């Protein structure tokens, strides 16, 4: 058997395996995705799924927790879709910048009210709750309350939640969980945050 024939045989076996898995995946409903971990890319992945959803003509919503004190490229870009996307920047900056816990809790509470309304509204096909995990892990918003709202959301609604330190209760509820791991980061070498990469 030649190398090409062996490769073709391996790929035929792999295709048969993948086809069987695809045939077994028959449930069609909204999924809950959680992107967590200390590595870069949690929000970037969420905004990538937002772009994909908009491309399919979905009605979308974004609530950004924590972030808010500086302009980002994703906000500048996605604001171009006012009819398809409700975009809310609700944070006042990272907690080490604000240095006011009671104010951070109040701000997070207001953001959660907007997010909870989206989760209860069947008009939204896709909802991105960016950096919500930070508010949960710090206890600014009750995780059990969030999980109950996620369970009660419209059946076809997709939700993506980002941020470090996703609580176990949320991880257990999610359909897909990805943990980003730092291997190397430019900031560790003294390179400042760059437009198009971090901003």
| 42-97 pLDDT per residue, tens | 999 999 999 999 999 999 999 999 866 556 888 889 999 999 999 999 876 555 55
Higher pLDDT, 92 or 182: 182
Alpha-carbon span 180 to 36, nearest angstrom: 6
Beta-carbon count within 10 A of 193 CB: 10
Asked if 173 and 151 count as a contact pair (C-beta separation under 8 A), the reply is yes
| Domains defined for the chain, CATH in brackets | 28-182 (3.40.50.300)
pLDDT, tens digit, 9 for 90 and up, residues 97-130: 566 788 888 889 999 999 999 999 999 999 999 9
- pTM, two decimals, is 0.89
DSSP state of 34: E
Residue of 163, 113, 97 lying closest to 136 (CA atoms): 163
pLDDT of 39 reads: 94
pLDDT of 68 reads: 61
């Amino acid at each position: 058997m030649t190398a090409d024939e062996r490769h073709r045989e391996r790929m035929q076996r792999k295709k048969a395996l993948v086809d069987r898995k695809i045939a077994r995946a028959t449930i069609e409903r909204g999924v809950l995705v959680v992107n967590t971990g200390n590595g870069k890319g949690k929000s970037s992945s969420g905004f990538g799924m937002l772009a994909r959803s908009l491309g399919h003509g979905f009605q979308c919503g974004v609530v950004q927790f924590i972030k808010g004190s500086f302009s980002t490229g994703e906000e500048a870009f996605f604001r171009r879709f006012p009819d398809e996307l409700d975009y809310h920047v609700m944070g006042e900056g990272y907690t080490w910048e604000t240095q006011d816990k009671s104010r951070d809790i109040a701000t997070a509470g207001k953001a959660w009210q907007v997010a909870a309304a989206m989760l209860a509204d069947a008009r939204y096909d896709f909802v991105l709750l960016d950096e919500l995990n930070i508010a949960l892990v710090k206890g600014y918003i009750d995780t059990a309350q969030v999980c109950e709202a996620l369970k009660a959301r419209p059946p076809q609604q997709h939700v993506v939640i980002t941020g470090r330190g996703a609580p176990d209760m949320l991880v257990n509820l999610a359909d897909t969980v990805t943990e980003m791991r730092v291997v190397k980061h430019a900031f560790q070498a003294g390179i400042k945050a760059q437009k198009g990469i971090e901003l």
